Structure 1
Amino acid sequence: MQPLTPADPRVLGGIEILGRLGRGGMGVVYAGRTDDDTLVAVKTLHVGGLEQSDLRERFEREAIALGMVQGPGVAALVESGQEADETPWLALEYVPGLDLATYLKRHDPLDAVTGTALGLVLANALTDIHTAGLLHRDLKPANVMLGPDGPKVVDFGLVAIGGAGGDLTHTNIRLGTPRFMAPEQFTAPTSVGAAADVYALGALLVYATSGQYPYEGATPDALGFAAVNPDIAPNLTGVPAGLVPLVTALMAVKPQDRPGLADVRAQLTERLAAEGLSPAAARAHLTERTYVPGTGITDEVPPAKRHAPVTRVETVDHSRTAGTGARTGKRGGLAARTAERLRKVYARPAA
C-alpha cells in the first residue's frame, strides 16, 4: 500500500481512505475502511474521466454489474456512490494476496492438479457472471486475485450487460487485453458473446500452467492475426498433457466450436475426481498452493480509533430494483440512478 498524496480523498461515502493500492486506466484504487472496521478496495474514476461519457458509462455499468453477480468466485460489491460534483466510487470486497499475474512472475507455473482446480473455480465464476446476464470480456491473470478463501475474479470495467453487443462496441472499438482476447473480439466486437469468456479461460489456463502466452506478437494487430488464423495453432508447450485437449477446444477459432461452461465444468470435475478431489477439496488445494500470506494490507492497518460514527449508505430494497443488487445511499445512488437507463441501452438477449 502506498501513502496518499495531497490530492487524494480522505473519506468517500463515509469510508476512511487509508492508502493507494494501485492506479489503472480508469482511475485510482484505494484501501479503505468502513465504520465497522471492514477493509475494502475503493475504486474511483479519474477526474478527467468525469468529462468523458464513455468512461463514465463504463464505470456506472461496472457498479451495476457487480451488484448483479453473486458467487464465491467473484469479488463482491460492498457499496457505491457519488456525491454532487465529486468522483464516482465503488467499494469492493478487499481480497488479500497476489493477483495471478504477479504470482506467476514470482513462482513456477501451476501443476496439472492445481491448474485444473483453477480452471474449475474460474468456470464456476464465469457461470455466475453469465447467469446474471453479463459478459466479463477481460478475464486475464491480473484480474484474478488469489485470496485466502480461493481465487476471485475482479475488475468488471469492460463488462457487457444483457449479452452480446451494446455499450461501447457500437463504435467498433476492440475491448479487452489482446493476449487473452477471442478472435471475434478482433474481427466482430459488436457480436461478442459468452464464448469469448470461454476462450479467455483457455488462454489464461495456458499461461497459468506453462508460463507462456498462447500467441506472441509485438503489437495487438499481430496477436489478433495469429488468434483469428486457423492455420496458426496456439503454443501449448508446457501445458500438462491432460489439459491440452480441453484448452485446445476452449481456444477454437470459431465461437460455436468451443464447449459451453457446463461441459467445461463437468470435464474439470471429472479430472479432479480422478485425483481423489471433490470441487470443495480442489478449491482448498488451490488456495493452499497459491495464497501467499503477508501480501495483504491487514498488518499495515491498525484497528480504527473513531471519535464519532460515520454515516453508512443504505441498502436498496432488491424487490424494487429489478435485480441490480447494488447498494447505494441517499447521497450516492450511482447504480440505482443509472440502472434503468443503462438497461435500456444494453438490452440484449441473455448471455
Structure 2
Amino acid sequence: MTGMGMKPLSGDDPQRLGVYRLLGQLGSGGMGRIYLARSTVDGSLAAVKTLLAEGVVSDTDRRRFAREVTLARRIDSAYTARVRDSDPDAERPWMAIEYIPAPALSELVRSAGRLPGSAVRWIAAGTAKALVLLHDAGIVHRDVKPQNILLPLAGPRLIDFGISHANDITRTSLTLGTIAFTSPEQARAEPSTTASDVYSLGATLFHLAVGRPPYPETADTIRLLTLVQRGELDLTGLPKELAPLIRPCLASDPDERPEPADVLRQFLEELDRAPTSQRGERWLPPRWTALIEAYEARGRALREGGEGLTVDERTRPVPPPGPTRLYTAERAAHEEAARRKEEAERAARRKQEEERAARRKQEELAARRKQEERARAEWEREAREAQERKAREARERKAEENRRQAAARARATAENEKKQRRAREERERKKRAEQARQEQRVRASGQTGAASSSRSSPSSSRTASAPQTGKAATSRPSSAARPAAQSADSSAGCFWGVIAVIALVVVIWKPWDGSDTGGSTSSGTSSGSSSSSSSGTYTSGGTGSTPTTGTYTSGGLGSAPTRGTSTTGGTTAAPTTSAPTTAVSRTPSAADRAFTSVRTGDCLDAYQNGYGSWSRTAPQQVGCGAADAYLRVLRVTRSGGGCPSGGGRGSWWHTGEDYAFTNLCVERQFRRGQCFLAKSASGRPGPANLLTAWSCSAGRVPSEFSYIMQVTAVLPTSAGTNACPGEPGRYRYSWNVYDGRTMICAKVA
C-alpha cells in the first residue's frame, strides 16, 4: 500500500484494530478505508483495511467483507499484496495486508508523465503474471485500473482483487477513472469473465503510454458510461510499436480478446529481445524512479521506528533524482531532448484538445438542431392530429345529423302510409255501405213487385172475362193497391234508418284498426322491429249486410320494400311500396388497420408520454427482445371489455371509422437503465406512472410529476427490498408490479 500520501487520523477513526495500532490514513474507497498500522507484537508495518459503516455493521456487508478476506487468503504471490491477519467477525471487521511502500500507476502518470514503450512492456508483463495467478485460482479481479497497481522498483503489485466481488461495477458511485477502465460487458451489467480483466489491462497500458484513458475526453459520467457500453474507443496517440500488443486487448467482443497467458507470453518475448536487469531502474525514466525511491525511503524510515505523519504530504514536491552514470553534458542533452519532446507532446495535446472542442461544439450544434427539428415535427404532428380530430368530430356530427334526418323521413313516410291506409279503408267502408243500400233498395223493390203481382191477379182474370175494359184496368192502379204501396214505402224508411245506425257503429268501432269489438274478429302476427313486416286477415259483418274479407301488409322502418293487396267486395286496391333506407359504409384508416393487426403476445414500440396520451397514434409491433419493446399485449378485445390496471398494466382503446371498438390490454416491459416518472409524496418519490418512459438525463418533467426514476434491477418480490442495489448516501426505492409477483428497483436519476 502507499505511504507518501498518508493523512493523520481523524476523530471518527479508531486507534487500534486487533493487535495493530493505527498510525495514519492511507486511502478511502467506496466501502472501506485503509490505514497504516504497526503491530504491537513484532513492531512490523501493515496496511489495515476496515469497513466504512455508521453504527452497527449490517449482516450483508459483513458477509461481503468475509468473502473478500477468503478470496485474498487464496493468493500468496510476489505479484500481489499478501494477507497477514484478519477478523471479519469483530465489531468493526478488519484485514491486515502486506505493506508495500510504493506509488500507484495513476499517481506516477499524474506526477512524472507517461512511459516509453519498453517500460510499458515491463509493467504489462508483471501485471499479466498477477492476473494469470488469480485466474488459475478461480478469481476474476473485475477492477484492474492504475489506482490498483503499485509499482516498487522490483516490479508491479496488483492489489484490491476482492473489492469487485463485493461491489458490482454497475454501482452509480463509480468515478470517471473507474468507468474508463471497465470492460463493455461490465458497464452493461453483464457477467464478468477473465476476458474482462484483459480489457481493463489493455485500457491501463494505454493510459501509461498516452497519458489518458482510451475514450474521448468528457466530464459527463453518463456519456462516458454510454461510450464504454458501446466500445467507442479513441486510440489517438497510441505508439505504433505498442498497437499490436494493446489493441487486441481492447476488442469489444470478449471472445476476440487474447487469454492472459497469451498476453504474458507476448510481452515476455518483447522483453527477451533486450537481455538486461529486470528491475525498474533499467526500464523506467529518471522521474519515475525518483518518485518510487522517495516512497521506499519513507517506508524504510517508518520500519525503523518513525511514527505516523501529522500533516498531509500528498502534495509534497518530488525530490530531485540522485546522480546517474551519464556525464553532465550527456545528461543536459538528454534533458533538453526530453524537454523538447514534452513541448511537442503538449502542443500535440493542445491541438487534439482544440480539435475535440471543435468537434464537441459541432456535435452540440447538430444535437441542438436535431432537437429543434424533433420539437417542430412534434408540433406539426400535434397540429395534424388536432386537425384530424376536428375533421373526425365533424364527420361524426354529420353522420349523426344524417341518421336523425333519415329517422325523421322514415317516421314521416310511415305516418303518410298510415294516413293513406285509413283514407282507403274509409273509402272502402263508404263503398260497402253504398252497396248495402243498393242491395236493400233492390230487395225492397222486389218485394213491392211481388205484392203488386198478387194483387193484380183477379183483375187479370177479370180482364179476360171482360176484354172490352182490360186496357183501362191495366193502365190505372186500383184503390186496393195504393195502401200496399204506402206500407212498402214505410218499411223502406225503417230499413234505411237501421242502415244509418249500423254505419255509425262501424265508424265508432273502426274494424280496420284490428281491434276486437262487437261481432268482428281479427287474426294475424305483428312485430315492432324496424326490420320486420306484419300481415294477417280480418272479417267484419253487421245486421242486414253481407260479410266482407281482405288482406293487409305493413312495412317497418328501415326494412326492405314490402308489397301487399287489399280486397273488398271483389275490388282490388293498388299495391303500396315503402321506400328503402340507404346503408352508409366507411373505409378503415391506417390506425384502424394497425389496431386490427395486433395480437395477444405482441410487443409494441409505444409508451405513455406523461401528458395523458401515448407516444404513438397507432401501435407498431417490434421484437420482444428489442430495446424499444416497451409494451406487451396481454389481451385484445373488440367488445369494450375491461383490462387490469395499476402495477405496470393498463389499456389502449381505439374507435375505428366504422365505429368498431378495439381495446388492447398492455403490460410494461421493464429493463435496467430505463426511466419513468413519479410524483412527490412528503418530499420524496411517491406514486409513479409505470407506463411512462422518459429520458434519464432530461432537465424537465411534466407538471404532474416531480421525479425521474431509473430502473436499477428487476427482481422477484420474494427477494425483498434489501436485495435492490444500493449506493452510499442515497435511498433505494421499489414498486411491486405484475400482480405483486415482481419488484422494480429504482433510484432518482
Range into which the TM-score falls when normalised by the shorter chain:
0.7 to 0.9
Q: Which moved more, 1:74-83 or 1:131-140?
A: 74-83
Q: Which moved more, 1:123-132 or 1:6-15?
A: 6-15
1:174/1:185 contact within 8 Å kept: no
The structure that has the greater radius of gyration is 2
- Residue 186 of structure 2 aligns with which residue? 185
- Residue 223 of structure 1 aligns with which residue? 224
Give the drift of 1:304: 8.4
Residues in 2 aligned to 1:212 and 1:46: alpha-carbon distance in whole angstroms = 30
Residues in 1 aligned to 2:141 and 2:302: alpha-carbon distance in whole angstroms = 32
Amino acid at match of 1:274: R
1:70/1:128 contact within 8 Å kept: no
What pairs up with 1:301-320 in 2 under 5 angstroms? 302-303=304-305
Give the drift of 1:22: 2.0
Give the drift of 1:288: 8.2
- Residue 281 of structure 1 aligns with which residue? 278
- Residue 127 of structure 1 aligns with which residue? 132
Secondary structure at 1:180 match in 2: coil
- Residue 299 of structure 1 aligns with which residue? 301
Amino acid at match of 1:107: A
Residues in 2 aligned to 1:88 and 1:254: alpha-carbon distance in whole angstroms = 39
What pairs up with 1:134-283 in 2 under 5 angstroms? 134-160=139-165, 177-189=178-190, 191-215=191-215, 216-229=217-230, 232=232, 234-277=233-276, 281=278
- Residue 113 of structure 2 aligns with which residue? 108
Give the drift of 1:134: 0.5
Give the direction of change, closer, same or farther, for the CA distance of 1:200–1:276 in structure 2 (3 Å limit).
same
Amino acid at match of 1:256: D
Equivalent of residue 72 in structure 1, options 73, 78, 83? 78
- Residue 60 of structure 1 aligns with which residue? 66
Give the drift of 1:54: 4.5
Higher RCO (CA < 8 A, seq sep 6+): 1
Q: Which moved more, 1:28-37 or 1:136-145?
A: 28-37
Give the direction of change, closer, same or farther, for the CA distance of 1:202–1:47 in structure 2 (3 Å limit).
same
Give the direction of change, closer, same or farther, for the CA distance of 1:11–1:221 in structure 2 (3 Å limit).
same
- Residue 9 of structure 2 aligns with which residue? 4
Equivalent of residue 104 in structure 2, options 99, 109, 134? 99
Query: Post-superposition, which runs of at least 4 consecutive aligned residues in structure 1 deviate over 4 A?
Result: 171-176, 286-291
Residues in 2 aligned to 1:105 and 1:117: alpha-carbon distance in whole angstroms = 19
Residues in 2 aligned to 1:25 and 1:168: alpha-carbon distance in whole angstroms = 8
Residues in 1 aligned to 2:73 and 2:55: alpha-carbon distance in whole angstroms = 22
Residues in 2 aligned to 1:182 and 1:168: alpha-carbon distance in whole angstroms = 15
Give the direction of change, closer, same or farther, for the CA distance of 1:50–1:222 in structure 2 (3 Å limit).
farther
- Residue 345 of structure 1 aligns with which residue? none
Secondary structure at 2:242 match in 1: helix
Q: Deviations over 1:325-348 (max 9, x none)?
A: xxxxxxxxxxxxxxxxxxxxxxxx
2:155/2:279 contact within 8 Å kept: no
- Residue 51 of structure 2 aligns with which residue? 45
Give the direction of change, closer, same or farther, for the CA distance of 1:102–1:126 in structure 2 (3 Å limit).
same
Give the drift of 1:217: 3.4
Give the drift of 1:274: 2.0
Give the drift of 1:104: 0.7
Residues in 2 aligned to 1:8 and 1:188: alpha-carbon distance in whole angstroms = 34
Residues in 1 aligned to 2:153 and 2:89: alpha-carbon distance in whole angstroms = 34
Residues in 2 aligned to 1:259 and 1:174: alpha-carbon distance in whole angstroms = 30
Give the drift of 1:283: 5.8
The TM-score, its normalising length taken from structure 1, stands at 0.75
Secondary structure at 1:281 match in 2: coil
Residues in 1 aligned to 2:284 and 2:43: alpha-carbon distance in whole angstroms = 25
Residues in 1 aligned to 2:78 and 2:101: alpha-carbon distance in whole angstroms = 15
Amino acid at match of 1:217: T
Residues in 1 aligned to 2:64 and 2:89: alpha-carbon distance in whole angstroms = 18
Q: Deviations over 1:36-83 (max 9, x none)?
A: 221110011112385445543332222111101122111111111145
Secondary structure at 2:156 match in 1: strand
1:134/1:159 contact within 8 Å kept: no
Q: Deviations over 1:271-313 (max 9, x none)?
A: 1112335xx72666357864512224442565289xxxxxxxx
- Residue 599 of structure 2 aligns with which residue? none
Give the drift of 1:239: 2.7
2:36/2:48 contact within 8 Å kept: yes
2:85/2:95 contact within 8 Å kept: yes
Secondary structure at 1:293 match in 2: helix
Residues in 2 aligned to 1:57 and 1:121: alpha-carbon distance in whole angstroms = 32
2:71/2:162 contact within 8 Å kept: no
Equivalent of residue 20 in structure 1, options 18, 25, 50? 25
Q: Percent same amino acid among aligned pairs?
A: 33
Q: Which runs of 5+ in 2 are unaligned?
A: 1-5, 308-749
Residues in 2 aligned to 1:15 and 1:90: alpha-carbon distance in whole angstroms = 10
Amino acid at match of 2:83: L
How many residue pairs are counted as aligned between the two chains? Answer: 292
Q: Deviations over 1:84-126 (max 9, x none)?
A: 4x21001001110211111111112111110001111111011
What pairs up with 1:28-43 in 2 under 5 angstroms? 28-34=33-39, 35-43=41-49
- Residue 118 of structure 1 aligns with which residue? 123
1:118/1:286 contact within 8 Å kept: no
Give the direction of change, closer, same or farther, for the CA distance of 1:264–1:282 in structure 2 (3 Å limit).
farther
2:210/2:237 contact within 8 Å kept: yes
Secondary structure at 2:294 match in 1: coil
